[in-house]
Amino acid sequence: MREVTMYECGICQEIYNEPKYALECERMGKEKALAKVGDLVEYKVEGNIPNFFVELRIKTIEDRGHCVEYLFEQYDRDRKDWIDFSYNVYGNIDFKYLVTKLNKK
Ligand SMILES: [Zn+2]
């Protein structure tokens, strides 16, 4: 029998066989959300020329270990209700690139 020791990142629970890798992983730290639930934002839809923008509301912000994931909802004028938006934004790098915060009206 052989005893095996493993090391877990305390943030994302990834398992490593050497402590230095687990420490390296932890050193990436944890993102802080750049917005809060209920904030109105403008989302850049790419792949169209020109790009266009949709107005969304942040529905939830999920903890994904090192990153945060943003989920949005869009106001449906026909239903007069908020519906889930198809695309989530994973991580603050993409959030900064795709999302602009709007001032409260
Ligand atoms: Zn980690």
Read off the pLDDT of residues 65-87 as tens digits, 9 standing for 90 and up.
999 999 999 999 999 999 999 99
Which residues, in sequence order, are CB contacts of 53 under 8 Å at separation 6+? 42, 43, 44, 45, 100
Q: What percent of the chain has pLDDT over 70?
A: 96
Tell me, in angstroms, the distance from the centre of ligand 1 to residue 19's CA: 12
Work out the pLDDT band at 105, boundaries 50, 70, 90.
low
Q: Look at the alpha carbons of 51, 92, 32, 11 in this order and tell me if their dihedral is positive or negative.
A: positive
Which residues, in sequence order, are CB contacts of 50 under 8 Å at separation 6+? none
pTM to 2 decimal places: 0.84
Tell me, in angstroms, the distance from the centre of ligand 1 to residue 15's CA: 9
Tell me, in angstroms, the distance from the centre of ligand 1 to residue 36's CA: 24
CB atoms within 10 A of CB 40: 15
Work out the pLDDT band at 6, boundaries 50, 70, 90.
very high
Of 13, 36, 25, nearest to 95 by C-alpha is 36
